[in-house]
Amino acid sequence: MTAITTSVFELFKIGPGPSSSHTIGPMTAGYRFYNAVDDLNLDVQPDNIEIRLYGSLSATGKGHGTDRAVVAGLLGFSPDNVECEFLEALAEGSSHQFESGGISIPLSVKDVVFAEVENDFPYANTLLLRLRKGTEVLFEQEYYSIGGGFIKLKGQQEEIPRVLPYRYSNMDELKAILTDEGLRMHQAVLVNETAITGVSEEEVYEKLDAILDAMKLSVENGLSAEGILPGPLGLHRKAKRLYENSAQTNAADKFLLRLNAYGFAASEENAAGHIVVTAPTSGSAGVIPAAIYALEEDLGISREKVREGMLVAAALGFIAKHNASIAGAEVGCQGEVGVASAMAAGLVAYANGLRFWRVENAAESALEHHLGLTCDPVGGYVQIPCIERNAMGVVRAYNAYLIASVENEIFHKVSFDEVVQAMAETGKDMNSKYRETSLGGLAVSVPNC
C-alpha cells in the first residue's frame, strides 16, 4: 500500500460548520471553480451557472448548509476566510454576483439543484458545476467530497508522490519505524510534516497552536451560548447548563459532567454553523476540542504535551483515513465520531506520558466500541444525534485512556490496524440509508419537529 503523505493541516482545518463533507468541502469546490473560471478565455459569454448536488449532498444538503457553502465558494470565499454572518445571509436567499474572469452572473442559493441521491459517479457525494449560455455547457468541473473537507476533481492529474523521511501506511509500519529509529511517535510525525510543508518545526508548532486555540474557542463560545439552534428541530443548547450545574456535584462527577459539557459546547457551535476545526470532520468537531480543553483547563497538562498529543492524534486519523474512511457518507458515524474518539484517546494517553503501545491500545479500544455506528441525522441537521454523540465520544475516549493506562500489554488482543480494517468492512456492508442520507434509523424514527 502507498505511504501516507497527508499533512496535519489538511486533516485539521478551521472553517464553518456544520459538516466538513457537506459544508467545507463544497465551499472549497466552489472556490476552486471560481479560480478556474478566472483562468478561462471564453469566446461566448455565459449567462447562468448550473450547480447540481448528488448523493447525501442532495439528501441532507439543506440541513448541512451545502447550498450556501457552494455559493459562498463561487463568490470567492474559502472556508478559512468566510464570515458566518455572510453564510447566514446566503441561507436566507440573498442574491449576489458571480464575478470571475470578466464574467458576471447573478447567483443565490435558489440556483442550487438537489439532484439524485442514488447515482453512478465514482463517489456518491458529487458536485457538478457548469457555466452555460442558455442550456449550452461552456465549461464544467466535477468534484467529489470525500470526507473531512477533502475534495477530488475529476480528471485532475495525480500529484507527484511526496517522498517522506518516515514512510508508513498503517500502525504496524509506524511502530516498526519508531523501534528501528529510536523515535517517539510525535517526532516521526513532526519530521514528516516539515518535509510535506517545507516549514520549520517551530512554525509547525505555531500552526498547531492556532488550531488548538480555535478548538478551545469553539468550546468557550459554546459554554457561554444559550437558546435554540438553527433549523426546524427546535433543539435547545445544553452545554452552558451542564457546565454550570457540574459545580453542584462531587469531584468525580464534576469532571465527567464538564467533559460532557465541553463536547456539547463545540458541537453546538458546529451545529449553529459557527467556526470549528475538522477533527477529523466537522460532524465530530466536539470530541478532540473537549479532550484538549479538559487536559489544559482541568488537568493542568502543558501546551507542549498537548501539541505532541495532537501530532499523535493526526497519525491515528491518517491511518484511519488511508485504510478506511472518515466520511459518514462512506462508513457511517464510526468514521467520524468513532475515529475522533480514537484520536482523542491516543492524544490524552500520549499527553499523559504513556508509551506508544498504550497509546495504540487506547485508540483501538475507543474505535472498537464505535464499530457499526450509523450516520442518521434527524432532518438532515447535524444536531440529533450528532451533538450528544460527540459528548459520548470524548467520554469513551477518556475511558479508553484510563483502561489502557493500567492494563497488561500481553492481554490486549486487538490492534489498531485490525479495528480500522473492521471499520472499513463494516462501512462497505452498511446500508446506504445509514450513511448520512437521513433515510433510516433515528432520521425516520424521530419526528422532524
Residues 347 and 387 in one domain: yes
φ/ψ (deg, to 5) at 372: 85, 0
Q: Which range, of 15-29, 42-56, 158-172, averages the lowest pLDDT?
A: 158-172
Cα 177 to Cα 183: distance, rounded to the nearest angstrom: 8
**Residue 180, number of CB atoms within 10 A of its CB:** 9
Q: Are residues 148 and 175 in the same domain?
A: no
As given in the structure block, the three cell numbers for residue 194 are: 516539515
Predicted local distance difference test score (pLDDT) of residue 160 = 63
Of 213 and 409, the structure prediction assigns the larger pLDDT to 213
The verdict on residue 229 lying in a domain is yes
Does the structure show a pLDDT above 70 at 449? no
CA gap 96, 307 in Å, rounded: 41
Cell of 106: 447573478
Are 148 and 281 members of one domain?
no
Residue 5 lies in a domain: no
Task: Indicate whether 262 belongs to any domain.
Answer: yes
Mean pLDDT, rounded, of the chain = 95
Residue 267 lies in a domain: yes
What pLDDT was estimated at residue 158? 66
Residues 199, 346: one domain?
yes
Count up the domains in the chain and report the number.
2
CATH of the domain at 61: 3.30.1330.90
Task: Enter the pTM of the model.
Answer: 0.90
End-to-end Cα separation, the chain, in angstroms: 47
Asked whether the beta carbons of 66 and 21 are under 8 A apart, the reply is no
pLDDT(106) > 70: yes
On whether both 357 and 395 belong to a single domain, the answer is: yes
| 351 lies in the same domain as 250 | yes
SS3 147: coil
The string of pLDDT tens digits covering residues 20-52 is 889 999 999 999 999 999 999 888 999 999 999
Q: What is the pLDDT of residue 99?
A: 95
pLDDT recorded at residue 41? 86
The model's confidence at residue 323, banded by pLDDT at 50, 70 and 90, is very high
Q: What is the pLDDT of residue 29?
A: 97
Specify the pairing of strand 112-114 against strand 103-107: unpaired
Q: What are phi and psi of 295, to 5 degrees?
A: -60, -50
Residue 321 is assigned to a structural domain of this protein: yes
245 with 128, same domain?
A: no
Round to whole Å and give the CA distance between 137 and 159: 28
User: Lowest-confidence range among 80-84, 272-276, 283-287?
Assistant: 80-84
Q: Are 289 and 386 contained in the same domain? A: yes
Same domain, 208 and 146: no
Q: Of 93, 120, 153, at which residue does a domain stop?
A: 153
What residue numbers bound the domain in which 342 lies?
A: 171-445
* 143 plus 179 within the same structural domain: no
Question: In terms of domains, do 113 and 216 share one?
Answer: no
CA–CA gap between residue 185 and residue 197 (Å, rounded): 19
Tell me which of 225-229, 359-363, 392-396, 407-411 is least confident: 407-411
On whether the CB atoms of residues 426 and 371 are closer than 8 A, the answer is: yes
Within a domain: residue 82? yes
The pLDDT > 90 percentage for the chain reads: 87
Indicate whether 159 pLDDT > 80: no
Nearest Cα neighbor of 370 from 333, 403, 399, 395 is 333
Report the pLDDT value the prediction gives residue 156, as an integer from 0 to 100. 80
**The last residue of a domain, from among 153, 181, 196:** 153
Task: Please check whether residue 1 lies inside any domain of the structure.
Answer: no
366 shares its domain with 429: yes
Answer whether residue 14 shows pLDDT above 70: yes
Q: Is 292 inside any structural domain? A: yes
